[in-house]
Amino acid sequence: MSTASEKVLLPCIHVAEGDIPPRVLVCGDPARAERISRRFEHPVCLAQNREYWTYSGVYQGVPVAVTSHGVGCGGAAIAFESLWRAGARAVIRVGTCGGMQPEVTAGSLVIATAACREEGVTEKMIPLSYPAVSDGETVAALSQAARDRGIAVHKGIVLTQALFYPGFLESTVKLYARAGVKAMENEAASLLVVSSLHGVKAGAILAVDAPAFELVGVDGYSQTAGGANVAQAVEDGIDIALDALIRIPLS
């Protein structure tokens, strides 16, 4: 029998309301969340359940946290909604993506200004006419943090897709590429929509690991071709995101 002093854990992420500081990074891979936590002072593991691993700590004197959300918007949306309920007020996604423009090559970084909602989840929350847009102050903080570190970045719209491998239906990726969309990934749209609905400031910075394979074909796609350049871009993206996270005004 539970007592009044016991915390009620939120579904799936297994943290309680009030456990999360206002500033949070999110990423797909639980192992990456653990690696990010090593950049914190006094890191503490708050929970490890399914794909949702959460760590808190301090970065440059500011309380922060990191949570992994797995692959795809269905599970990720659970994490983003739960993080808001647990105390998050500024959230930056750090992850990887496929480049969709000739200049967005493996080892590049992309700051998402908005996301195309092709993930099949957020349309169940609110009509598709509601945009998935990054918070302006978050984009500005990410851009300034990149400049301060002397790291070049691309900025623009990304495509959030439900699919990873293409199926039998014709893909829309080439259409979006013609429209100038910078990159394709699997979770940003749900972060931006959930965050906007709750007044949470959110954005994303993504390391390009290869061209989107719907542009080059599955046989021409390789996440390892970029080698050290991609690995460095992932680390640079994390550094930029942490620097930006502590600069975002919460009021």
Q: Which residues are catalytic?
A: 209
Rounded Cα distance between 195 and 28, Å, is: 17
Exposed, middle or buried, 143 (CB in 10 Å: 0-12/13-18/19+)? middle
Exposed, middle or buried, 151 (CB in 10 Å: 0-12/13-18/19+)? middle
- How far apart are the two ends of the chain, measured CA to CA in Å? 40
Residue 164: left (phi > 0), alpha (psi -120 to 50), or beta? Answer: alpha
Q: CA nearest 151: which of 93, 92, 235, 79?
A: 235
Other Cβ atoms less than 10 A from the Cβ of 138: the count is: 28
